[in-house]
A and B are shown apart, each in its own frame.
Chain A
Amino acid sequence: MGNIIEVRDLKKIFDKDIRAVDGVSFDVKEGEIFGFLGPNGAGKSTTISMITTLLTHTSGHITIDGKDVVKSATQVRKTIGLVPQALTADDQLSGRENMQLQADLYDVPKDVAKERIEELLSIVKLQESADRRVDTYSGGMRKRLELAEGLVHHPKILFLDEPTLGLDIQTREIIWEYITDIKKQSGMTVFLTTHYLEEAESLCDRIAIIDRGKIIVIGTPDELKASLGGDLIEIEVHDSQECKTSLESIPGIDNIEYKDGKYILRTPNGDEVMESVLNKIAEERWKIKYISLQKPSMNQVFLKYTGKSLRDDTTKTDKFAARAAIAQNRRRR
């Protein structure tokens, strides 16, 4: 499949020295869900604004479906749908009126629009409130309406800026499910930004981690996690028995370290190796004090590449690593 979005060395500098987007290049393949993962102020929304023709870039080049976004702005606008980060529905109109307005702006044939509006309203579970003014909606209802509005004209590419910001877990999951469904059914390409790790991981085919206006790494969630060096198995045995040689006989282990009374095994395939390790323990009759299997998380990936943690409930190791990273950053300056 070809690239439907191509971005080359894109820059946006505000007020002469705010480098909001600082030389970003990437491709989005047709039909994939591509995610921008990054902390607040990373430049996610600014990038979306430039790709969706709302903001002119300082330098660089963007093509959408083969068309230059500056030269063929109107063509590009017909191809895309945008669900901005901010709530933008007209709150003095009803949900249905907002949908109808959107259909008119995109010139969706009247009979098609009628059907599609009802279908979308039911998907985002707003049929019952569709005739109420939007200023009586809750935040979650408004966000769902925004999503439905972005789909009225069945865009080829859908841009979602923080699609689930401020939603409760259930609604968030419904929206994830829905995004995956439309992708499967219609082959729509989705470009989304998020600072939720779970969202990036469970939804995106590929993720770009962006920080301070720069893309640090791009890959599938699995690739990114594998880049951390695989899974870790930690074993602590009573009376510091010597186990290293026996452990070394297990296939599939990259290396074994002995640290603070613990053996740390690194392997690309934690589940399989764990099974062999447990068999070995039974065989050798070791007395085990502690054993664990750790798979790399997106948070660790994020930490590795940005030196920052995005999660509040950081695990202990993450905290140490975070501190180390902070110290490292300080030294660098």
Chain B
Amino acid sequence: MSELRTYARQTFALTGRELKHWYRSKMQIFMALIQPIIWLGLFGFAMNGFINSAMEQVGQEIDYMSFLIIGLVIITALTTSMNAGMSVIWDRRFGFLEKLKAAPVPRGVIPLSKVLSTTIKAIVQSLLILVIGLAFGLKFVAGFNVLDFTILILIVAMVALTFSSIFVALGLVIKNQDVLMGVNMLLNLPLMFASGVLFPTASFPEALKVIANVNPLTYAADAARRVSVGDVMISIPNISLGMDLLLLFIVAITITALGMFFARRGLRA
């Protein structure tokens, strides 16, 4: 029992350290917020007409700005998770990890605190994006309430949990910043574009649809849109919100467990 209290204190301290880095680095927060603004400003306006005409052809009508803003909430959770992998590499290079390893800290606490802090960052950022989104014309679906909002936040948390577990484990196993950067680039684009996050998959060719349908981000974006901007915007119409959430939950638990396993191995080597 007292050991659990010790672990909690260690986790809390290390998570706090990450969050201190984050809110002290004004540039990092600025970059995290300017990115969605650029996305909305360039991508949103440029693709709006294009997407709408594509959607007309499949007999649907969507509000692309609202669609994209929810997509960006999910993308920001992904990008923040990728950064967590890089921060692990810095900790190793600057010797901080060495000091952590010499301390009586259970190995699991080290990746866990990275994952927790990333999840908190992702949640805060998604709130900021929603506020920015309002200025860009984000329209919540009629009847959007506190429960819907809570589910939206939980979805962001599950995405961050899943992907930060992956990238923290990668960071601990790979150890080399250039290789990890390469892996990030390699995964970033397919994860983003072969999914329903940025575009409605209705207009995708069949092969791409198949990939999008196994990408957890598609389900995350779908679930997020169902509760916030409306059913018409979702990519996979024949599964329910409950099913979406269940899938996300199972993926998050499984991947986090796997991530912790590999992270511990990476720490030992």
Contact = CB atoms under 8 A, between A and B. Distances in A.
A92 B106 CA distance: 24
Contacts of B13: 100-101, 104-105
Interface residues of B, number: 23
A86 B99 CA distance: 10
Nearest to B21: A92
Interface in A53-94: 53-54, 74, 77-78, 80, 82, 84, 86-93
B10 A74 contact: no
A105 B10 contact: yes
A107 interface: yes
Contacts of A102: 103
Given A88-B94, A90-B17, A107-B9, A54 B101 contact: yes
Q: Give the dominant DSSP class at B's interface.
A: helix
B265 interface: no
B96 A105 contact: no
Nearest to A104: B13
B98 A54 contact: yes
A97 interface: yes
A42 to B, nearest CB: 20
28 contacts: A52-B102, A53-B102, A54-B98, A54-B101, A74-B104, A80-B102, A84-B95, A84-B98, A84-B99, A86-B98, A88-B96, A88-B98, A88-B99, A90-B96, A92-B20, A92-B21, A92-B24, A100-B13, A102-B103, A104-B10, A104-B13, A105-B100, A105-B103, A105-B105, A106-B103, A107-B6, A107-B9, A149-B99
Contacts of B100: 105
Contacts of B101: 53-54
Contacts of A105: 10, 13-14, 100, 103-105
Given A78-B104, A92-B21, A105-B100, 4 more contacts: A52-B102, A87-B95, A104-B13, A105-B14
Contacts of A74: 104, 106
Interface in B1-41: 6, 9-10, 12-14, 17, 20-21, 24-25
Nearest to B20: A93
Interface in A212-233: none
Interface of A: 52-54, 74, 77-78, 80, 82, 84, 86-93, 97, 100-102, 104-107, 149
A86 B12 contact: no
A89 B91 CA distance: 10
A86 B95 contact: yes
Contacts of B98: 54, 84, 86, 88
B113 to A, nearest CB: 11
A105 B107 CA distance: 12
Contacts of B96: 88-90
- The 5 lowest CB-CB distance pairs between A and B, nearest first, are A104-B13, A88-B95, A77-B104, A86-B95, A105-B103
Contacts of A93: 17, 20-21
A77 B10 CA distance: 15
Nearest to A73: B104
Contacts of B105: 105
Contacts of A107: 6, 9-10, 104
Interface centre among B6, B13, B98, B102 (most CB of A within 10 A): B102
Contacts of A101: 13-14, 17
Nearest to B9: A104
A148 to B, nearest CB: 13
Nearest to A49: B98
A88 B94 CA distance: 6
A84 B101 CA distance: 12
A82 B12 contact: no
A101 B104 CA distance: 13
A106 B7 CA distance: 10
Nearest to A105: B103
